[in-house]
Structure 1
Amino acid sequence: MHAADPANIRVGARVIECPTCVDGSRVGYIGGPNTLAVRVTGVPQAGERTLTVVYETEQPRTLKLAVDDGPVRELTLAGARSWLIPARTSVRLRLPKGACWIRFFNDTGSAPDINTVTVS
C-alpha cells in the first residue's frame, strides 16, 4: 500500500514529492499531532502478520504504530541517513480478521517519512 494513497487518513501529515520513492512520493511531517493511518483489508483470519515499512530519514527517528486502538509499538529507525535513499523495517503485529487501521505517529517528536506499507 502506498502511504500517499488518498484512501489513507492523514492528519497534519503531507504528501511530499520524492524521485527515489515508489510512485514518486511519500508521506512526511508525521510527528507531534500529525499522523498517518493506513487501512488494511482482507485479513483472512486474526493472527500475527509481518508489517514491512519502507521509509526515509536523515537521522535516527522514532516511529510509533498501533493497530486500531491496540497497544503502541515503538521503533527507533536509523534509515539510510538520506531523504532520498529508502530503507525498510519489518515488525510482527497481531491483526484482526477482516479490516483494521494501522496508525503511524510519534507524539513526542518527528517520525521518519513513510513511502509504502506491506502486510504479509
Structure 2
Amino acid sequence: MEAEDPGNVLSEGAGIATCPTCEGGARVRYIGRLTANLTTAAAGRRTVTVTYQVKGDRSLMISINGAAPTTHRLSGTDWDTPRTFRYTATIPAGQVSMTFYNDTGPAPDIDKITIS
C-alpha cells in the first residue's frame, strides 16, 4: 500500500509530497502521524516491509491496532534514494491499522508499506 493512499490518515503535520524516485510518484513527509489502513487475509507472524527515504539517522515507531509500538532506527544517505527495512510482527486477520510516528524527533519519509 502506498503511504499516500487516500484511505490513510495523515495528522500532526504529515503531508504528501511529489517524489520522482518513489513508487506511485509520491511519499508522506513531515510525519507527525501516519495511520495506514490495510487488510490481511490471515493472522500470524508476518513480515512488514516499509520503503522510506531519509538523510542521516532517524527513529520510526510503529504501532499495530493501538498496541505498544516497536521502535526502528533507520538511516540513509539522501532524500532521493528509496530504502527498505523489514521486521516481523504479529498481525491479526482483517482490518489492520498501522500508525507510524516518532515522538522524540523527526521521522523518515514513508513511501510504501507491505505485509507479507
Q: Same fold (TM over 0.5)?
A: yes
Residue aligning to 1:66: 63
1:57 shift after superposition: 0.3
What are the Cα deviations for residues 93-119 of structure 1, in whole angstroms up to 9, with x where unaligned?
Answer: 111121110000001100100000111
Runs of 4+ in 1 over 6 A off after TM superposition: none
Residue aligning to 2:115: 119
What are the Cα deviations for residues 19-43 of structure 1, in whole angstroms up to 9, with x where unaligned?
Answer: 111111100101xxx10011111x2
- Please provide the CA RMSD for this pair: 0.9
Q: Distance in 1 between matches of 2:65 and 2:41?
A: 17
Q: 2:14 matched to 1:18? A: no
The residue type paired with residue 23 of structure 1 is: G
1:1-120 map, 5 Å: 1-11=1-11, 12-30=13-31, 34-41=32-39, 43-79=40-76, 81-120=77-116
**What's the secondary structure of 1:23's corresponding residue?**
helix
Q: Distance in 2 between matches of 1:82 and 1:35?
A: 22
**What's the secondary structure of 1:93's corresponding residue?**
strand
Give the number of the structure whose residues are more often strand, by fraction. Answer: 2
TM-score, normalization: structure 1?
Answer: 0.92
Tell me the percent identity. Answer: 38
Q: Distance in 1 between matches of 2:18 and 2:42?
A: 36
User: Gaps (5+ residues) in structure 2?
Assistant: none
TM-score, normalization: structure 2?
Answer: 0.95
The residue type paired with residue 22 of structure 2 is: C
User: Gaps (5+ residues) in structure 1?
Assistant: none
1:70 shift after superposition: 0.7
